[in-house]
C-alpha cells in the first residue's frame, strides 16, 4: 500500500482563482455572494449566488477549444491546469497512462441542458443546437481534464451530488494506494444554473443574501459554482521528483443510508465519520479541525453538529464552513473543503465561518471559528461532504511526517 500526498491545488472560485488568491480569500473571510448574472433571476424572490465572474477560461487553458465545452467542464479543466501547474508536475516526462482524472459533479452541464430544453420548446427537435448536444453529457467533465492535460489513465465523472468531490478524492486515493496510478487529478465542478436555484427555493432551503452556517438565525444556502482540483501522488513519486508536499491523504469513508431524498440522517453521518477515521488510522482526539458540510440550513447544521458530538464527545475540535464564503458549490463543495483543509495544514490557520452573529443554544458545543481566520497548528483535519439521497463522503488529511 502506497502513501498518498497532495502536491498541487487548483481552486477556481468566487473568492479567488489560483492558490494565492484563494488562500488570501480564506484568510480575509471574503464573500462571493452577489446578484445572479448566469441567468435571468426575474420572478425569483431571491436573486443572489456565489458566482465566479472573474473566470476567463481562455486565460487558463492551453489545449481545449473553449467553444466546444460547457461551463462546468471548463471549470474542471481550468482547475486541473492550475493544480498541475501548482504541483510543478512535468507531464511531458511522465507516462500518461499512469496519470488519471476523477471529477465529481451535481448538475453536470445543466446550463447546457436548460438551453437545449428552451430550444426544444421553441422549435422542436430540429431547433436543438448540435454544438450544445455535444456539450451536454456529464462525463465530459473528466474528459475535459484528460484532454487538457493529455492524460491516458482512468477518466471518471462521479455524480454523487454535493459529496461528489470527496468521492472523487477517495476513488483517486484507492488507485494510488494500490499502485494502479502514480498521479491522479481529483476534485469537482459545477455551475450556477436556474434549475438548482429553483429547486432549492422550492425546498425552502434557499437564503436571501447571506449564508450563516451554525448561526441561530441561519435560513439556508446560496447556490454557488466553480472548479476545485487536487494533484494527488504516491509519496514515492512525489519524493523522487522533489515535489513540495502540502499534506498527506490519510484516508476516507463513504456510506449511503438512503434514509430520505433530502433530509440528512444523524446516525449515518456519524457512522461515516467513524469509517473515515478508521480508514485513516486516527482517533477522534487526533483531529484538530473539521471542515464541515455546513450548508446553513437549519436541518443540515443541527444534524451535522449532533453527529460530530456523537463521535467526538466532549472534545469537539473547531469547525468552520467555507460555504459561508463561496456559497454551495454543489459537486465542487468538498473539493474546495479539501483545498481549504490542506492549506490550513500547510500554513497553520483555520478558515472562518463568516456571517456568523448569534450562537445557537442547540449547538452549544460548536466553535465555528466565527468571522475571522484563526492561527492554529493543524496536524489532522477532517473534511465532511454530504449529499441528497444519504450519500456521505468524508476525507481525512494530515501533516506529512
- pLDDT tens for each residue of 140-185: 999 999 999 999 999 999 999 999 999 999 999 999 999 999 999 9
N-term to C-term CA, the chain: 17
Q: Are 293 and 385 in contact (CB under 8 A)?
A: yes
Catalytic residue IDs: 162, 293, 328
- Distant-in-sequence contacts of 306-310, Cβ < 8 A, 24+ apart: 306/266, 307/266, 307/267, 307/269, 307/270, 307/273, 308/273, 308/365, 308/366, 309/365, 310/266, 310/270
How much of the chain, in percent, has pLDDT values that exceed 90? 97
Q: Read off the pLDDT of residues 15-52 as tens digits, 9 standing for 90 and up.
A: 999 999 999 999 999 999 999 999 999 999 999 999 99
- In b/e form, how buried is each residue of 201-211, taking b as 16+ CB within 10 angstroms? beeebbbeebb
Closest CA to 161 of 328, 323, 332, 387: 387
Q: What is the mean pLDDT of residues 2-10?
A: 98
Running DSSP on this structure, what letter comes out for residue 34? E
pLDDT-derived band at 262, boundaries 50, 70, 90: confident
Q: What is the mean pLDDT of residues 273-296?
A: 98
Last residue of a domain, one of 187, 217, 241: 241
Range of the domain at 268: 251-398
Is residue 120 a part of any domain in this protein? yes
State the Cα–Cα distance between residues 394 and 159, nearest whole angstrom. 16
Asked whether residue 110 falls in the same domain as residue 136, the answer is yes
Which ranges constitute the DSSP H helices of 44-152?
Answer: 57-60, 71-87, 110-123, 130-135, 140-149
Is residue 76 a part of any domain in this protein? yes
- Residue 278: its pLDDT value, please? 98
Kindly state the helix (H) or strand (E) to which residue 187 belongs, with its residue range.
Answer: strand 183-190
The number of folded domains in the chain is 2
Q: What is the mean pLDDT of residues 188-202?
A: 95
Closest CA to 332 of 200, 174, 187: 187
Q: Are 273 and 253 in contact (CB under 8 A)?
A: yes
pLDDT-derived band at 355, boundaries 50, 70, 90: very high
Q: What is the dihedral of CA 225, 229, 260, 323, to 10 degrees?
A: -50
Burial of 95 (0-12, 13-18, 19+ CB in 10 A): exposed
Asked whether residue 205 falls in the same domain as residue 97, the answer is yes
Asked whether residue 378 falls in the same domain as residue 257, the answer is yes
Does residue 338 carry a pLDDT above 90? yes
Asked whether residue 12 falls in the same domain as residue 103, the answer is yes
- Residue 69: its pLDDT value, please? 98
Q: Strand pairing partners for 248?
A: 5, 398
> In this structure, is the dihedral angle defined by the CA atoms of residues 243, 23, 69 and 155, taken in order, positive or negative?
positive
State the Cα–Cα distance between residues 330 and 102, nearest whole angstrom. 16
Asked whether residue 190 falls in the same domain as residue 285, the answer is no
Last residue of a domain, one of 241, 276, 305: 241
Is residue 147 a part of any domain in this protein? yes
Asked whether residue 223 falls in the same domain as residue 290, the answer is no
CA 372 to chain centre: 21
pTM for the model:
0.97
Q: Are 50 and 332 in contact (CB under 8 A)?
A: no
Asked whether residue 222 falls in the same domain as residue 257, the answer is no
Say which CATH number the domain at 132 has. Answer: 3.40.47.10
Asked whether residue 232 falls in the same domain as residue 255, the answer is no
Asked whether residue 260 falls in the same domain as residue 378, the answer is yes
Asked whether residue 310 falls in the same domain as residue 273, the answer is yes
Q: Read off the pLDDT of residues 224-254 as tens digits, 9 standing for 90 and up.
A: 999 999 999 999 999 999 999 999 999 999 9
pLDDT-derived band at 279, boundaries 50, 70, 90: very high
Strands 349-350 and 374-375: antiparallel
Asked whether residue 228 falls in the same domain as residue 372, the answer is no
Does residue 261 carry a pLDDT above 90? no
Q: What is the mean pLDDT of residues 112-137?
A: 95
- Residue 357: its pLDDT value, please? 97
Q: What is the mean pLDDT of residues 86-104?
A: 97
Asked whether residue 161 falls in the same domain as residue 275, the answer is no
Does residue 304 carry a pLDDT above 90? yes
- Residue 26: its pLDDT value, please? 98
Last residue of a domain, one of 241, 266, 289: 241
List phi, psi (to 5°) of 229: -140, 145
- Residue 2: its pLDDT value, please? 98
- Residue 206: its pLDDT value, please? 95
pLDDT-derived band at 83, boundaries 50, 70, 90: very high
Amino acid at each position: 500500500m502506497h502513501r498518498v500526498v497532495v502536491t498541487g491545488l487548483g481552486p477556481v472560485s468566487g473568492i479567488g482563482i489560483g492558490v494565492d488568491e484563494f488562500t488570501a480569500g480564506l484568510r480575509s473571510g471574503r464573500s462571493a455572494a452577489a446578484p445572479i448574472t448566469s441567468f435571468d433571476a426575474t420572478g425569483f424572490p431571491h436573486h443572489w449566488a456565489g458566482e465566479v465572474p472573474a473566470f476567463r477560461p481562455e486565460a487558463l487553458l492551453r489545449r481545449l477549444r473553449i467553444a466546444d465545452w460547457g461551463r462546468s467542464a471548463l471549470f474542471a479543466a481550468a482547475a486541473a491546469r492550475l493544480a498541475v501547474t501548482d504541483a510543478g508536475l512535468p507531464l511531458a516526462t511522465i507516462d500518461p497512462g499512469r496519470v488519471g482524472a476523477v471529477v465529481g459533479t451535481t448538475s453536470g452541464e445543466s446550463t447546457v441542458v436548460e438551453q437545449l430544453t428552451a430550444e426544444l420548446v421553441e422549435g422542436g427537435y430540429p431547433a436543438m443546437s448540435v454544438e450544445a448536444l455535444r456539450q451536454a453529457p456529464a462525463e465530459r467533465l473528466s474528459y475535459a481534464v484528460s484532454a487538457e492535460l493529455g492524460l491516458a489513465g482512468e477518466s471518471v465523472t462521479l455524480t454523487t451530488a454535493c459529496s461528489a468531490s470527496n468521492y472523487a478524492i477517495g476513488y483517486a486515493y484507492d488507485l494510488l494506494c494500490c499502485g494502479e496510478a502514480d498521479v491522479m487529478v481529483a476534485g469537482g465542478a459545477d455551475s450556477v444554473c436556474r434549475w438548482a436555484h429553483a429547486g432549492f427555493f422550492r425546498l425552502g432551503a434557499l437564503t436571501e443574501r447571506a449564508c450563516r452556517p451554525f448561526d441561530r438565525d441561519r435560513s439556508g444556502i446560496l447556490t454557488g459554482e466553480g472548479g476545485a482540483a487536487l494533484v494527488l501522488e504516491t509519496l514515492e513519486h512525489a519524493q523522487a521528483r522533489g515535489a513540495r508536499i502540502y499534506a498527506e491523504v490519510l484516508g476516507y469513508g463513504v456510506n449511503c443510508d438512503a434514509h430520505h431524498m433530502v433530509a440528512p440522517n444523524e446516525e449515518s453521518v456519524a457512522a461515516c465519520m467513524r469509517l473515515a477515521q478508521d480508514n485513516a488510522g486516527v482517533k477522534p482526539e487526533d483531529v484538530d479541525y473539521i471542515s464541515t458540510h455546513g450548508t446553513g440550513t437549519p436541518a443540515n447544521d443541527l444534524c451535522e453538529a449532533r453527529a460530530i458530538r456523537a463521535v467526538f464527545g466532549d472534545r469537539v475540535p473547531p469547525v468552520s464552513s467555507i460555504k459561508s464564503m463561496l456559497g454551495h458549490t454543489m459537486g465542487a463543495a468538498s473539493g474546495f473543503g479539501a483545498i481549504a483543509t490542506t492549506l490550513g495544514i500547510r500554513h497553520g490557520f483555520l478558515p472562518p465561518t463568516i456571517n456568523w452573529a448569534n450562537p445557537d443554544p442547540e449547538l452549544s458545543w460548536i466553535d465555528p471559528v466565527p468571522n475571522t481566520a484563526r492561527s492554529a497548528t493543524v496536524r489532522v483535519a477532517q473534511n465532511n461532504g454530504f449529499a441528497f439521497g444519504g450519500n456521505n463522503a468524508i476525507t481525512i488529511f494530515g501533516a506529512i511526517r
